[in-house]
Amino acid sequence: MRVIGGRLKGKKLNGISSISNSSLRPTSDRVKENIFNILSHKFHLNLDGIKVLDLFAGTGSLGFESLSRGARSVTFVENDQYACRLIKENAKTYEKQIFKI
């Protein structure tokens, strides 16, 4: 799992281990790329400074992609404890790079 655009482009996010919850499936790079292309080109949405809600966050991949592309903040909503730990680990790993001022 990696970030495909923005400040963190190419950075790897902690992924799902083979022992982990099999119900989690990260959003593929191709799907993320299409989502952000549609948002920016079809809807002319600029992510700079906006607040994002990553509802049913799972691995948090879409939220971290949004932060990398300039979102001011992301609220991750997830009830799976393993997924929440994964999101927290990734946030801690990249917090200094994401929140550069």
Is the four-CA dihedral 43, 7, 90, 59 of positive or negative sign?
positive
**Using CA atoms, how far apart are residues 67 and 73, in angstroms rounded to an integer?**
7
In DSSP terms, 76 is beta-bridged to 54
**Using CA atoms, how far apart are residues 7 and 4, in angstroms rounded to an integer?**
9
Please state the separation of Cα 76 from the chain's center in Å. Answer: 9
Residues 14-30: b if buried by 16+ CB within 10 A, e if exposed: bebeeeeeeeeebeeee
Q: Which amino acid is at 82?
A: Y
**Using CA atoms, how far apart are residues 82 and 101, in angstroms rounded to an integer?**
31
**Using CA atoms, how far apart are residues 8 and 98, in angstroms rounded to an integer?**
7
pTM, two decimal places: 0.86
Task: Write the pLDDT tens digit of every residue in 2-39.
Answer: 899 998 899 998 877 655 556 788 888 999 999 999 99
Task: Write the pLDDT tens digit of every residue in 59-91.
Answer: 899 999 999 999 999 999 999 998 999 999 999
